[in-house]
Amino acid sequence: MPPAASSAAPRSNAGASAAPPAMPAGKPQPLWTRSFVFGTLLNFFIAANYFMLMVVMTAYALDVYQAPASAAAFCASAFIVGTLFSRFSSAPLMERFGRTRVLVAGALLEVALTVLYLMNEPIGALIGVRLAHGFSYGMCSTAVATVITSIVPAERKGEGIGYFMLSITLGSAVGPFTGIFLSNNFGYEALFVVASAIVALSVPCALVLCIPRKTGAKASPRKADLAAEAAQDALAGDVVQAPDERKREDAAAAFAEAEAKAPAESAEPAPAHDSARVPSTHLEERIADKVEHSWLSRFVEAGVLPISIVCGLLFFGYSSLLTFLTPYATELGLARAASVFFVAYALAMFLTRPFTGRAFDRVGPHPVMVPAFASFIVGMVLVAFASNDWLLLGSALLLGFGVGTVQSCGLAMAVRVTPDERLSVANATFYMMLDVGVGIGPVLLGLAVPLVGYQALYLGMALVGACSLALFLVSREPRRACARLRPPGAAPVVGSLCSL
């Protein structure tokens, strides 16, 4: 139909010229906004509070309450149980009451529950406070992560989340040191007062956050994709069936307009390395379909389950450091190095995370995360064969780089392709898997240690890291998945990730 083609061409050019001349893609969006800074500070305050109390809670129950070892240990781990429960309820709470209210309520609860430690309640009440404190921490941390991931510019997602996660890194370095120093030199009451003062600073941070009611950066590319698909369908159908020339011209013009509109509507065009949220294996496809069409969709975001499970498995291995490093190092005569192990670990995170975040935005997840998984594996092997202080501290540097990079880049992978209205569920799903890994790790590994010993345990954790890497490599293949799901002979939809 030569006439149709010739008449459609001018319409196409006209539609393209009608697009706004100045697109937001030309001007980089700021990262260090007021909301980003105060949200990151808030996360640091609640993380410091968490680590300050976690490292001394078992000793506190043993010294003050003369509790049995099992009950004393549960006083510490009850916090994780409460956190895990909060991951299921945080997303529905944010959907019902809004992110601001949930964040402020979580911060206020953190302060109130930390003050309750000063009351010297019975051991049963202490466990109840720990459960409630874990719930409030999980609610607050999920809410602030949802806010931050929604306001970070799409083209700086890896860098922004990397800086945000440094707040946890600093908290994990400052918190344990402060908690042990205060409890050893000034007593537990002084520790609880300082912990209450630190977490109280999170309340004004929550109050001054500017949380957008609706961010279109996530939804607009999808709308552009739908518009382009509709116009392409119209062009494919109407040109064949239209009884007159005018309908053919209208269909072609509609498609050209959608082509021009797709990149202009999106706040930032998706980079070529972006991971489309498309199931890449038959198993993943079946799991995603079951989750999305069940009651679990209220609490779990199916699209982020693969990377969340990968990171949760890695954190299962990481839990062995939290639980058994001190007795293992004491057995080897390396207690001095063990006392500063997590300082070196946090230092490696702090120094490498800004660079890895930028690299993630520039080259994509695989070139950044594969070396991080390898670093974790080598670090665990060094822990297993550590014979002097330097080997143990060298393993801390490798593990800090590995765990920190996988955690921040994994979260960036999870949220950058999630619609804004599902960000709360996506964040809850990601952190839920991390909590499961850290929570069940001490229990299962505690059963294994008497049977195999510490050295074999850490060699096993290197194997867990290798399994995580293997799952990461096979869990997402966006190009192949897009090609499989696209109808035969169909062209890529303009503006969609599958077209890259």
pLDDT (tens digit, 9 = 90+) per residue, 129-188?
A: 999 999 999 999 989 988 888 888 877 877 888 888 888 878 877 887 788 888 888 999
Any residues with CB less than 8 A from the CB of 56 and at least 6 apart, and which? 179, 180, 183, 188, 191
Nearest-Å Rg of the Cα atoms of the chain is 26
Residue 285 has pLDDT above 70, yes or no: no
Instruction: Write down the pTM of the prediction.
Output: 0.63
Q: Which of 2-11, 20-29, 76-85, 101-110 has the lowest mean pLDDT?
A: 2-11
Q: How far is the C-alpha of 180 from the C-alpha of 267, rounded, in Å?
A: 47
326, 180 contact by CB (below 8 A): no
Identity of the amino acid at 192: F
The two structure tokens encoding residue 295: 């009651």
Give dist(CA 414, CA 312) in Å, integer: 13
Please report, for residues 46, 53, 228, 337, the alpha-carbon distance to residue 180 in angstroms, rounded to integers and kept in the order given: 17, 9, 59, 16
The larger pLDDT score, comparing residue 461 to residue 121, is at 461
Give the tens place of pLDDT for each residue, 470-490: 999 987 543 333 333 334 444
User: Do residues 78 and 127 make contact, with C-beta atoms less than 8 angstroms apart?
Assistant: yes
Instruction: Label residue 7 by pLDDT band (50, 70, 90).
Output: very low
Tell me the pLDDT band of 372, cut-offs 50, 70 and 90.
very high
**CA 19 to chain CA centroid, nearest Å:** 36
CB 498 within 8 A of CB 482: yes
- 181-208: string of b/e by CB count within 10 Å (b at 16+)? ebbeeeebeebbbbbbebbbbbbebbee
Looking at residues 221-232, what average pLDDT do you find?
A: 45
pLDDT reported for residue 425: 79
Instruction: Look at residue 284 and tell me whether its pLDDT is greater than 60.
Output: no
Write the CA distances from 347 to 150, 162, 172, 272, 321, integer angstroms.
Answer: 28, 14, 10, 32, 16
Q: According to the model, what pLDDT value does residue 159 have? A: 81
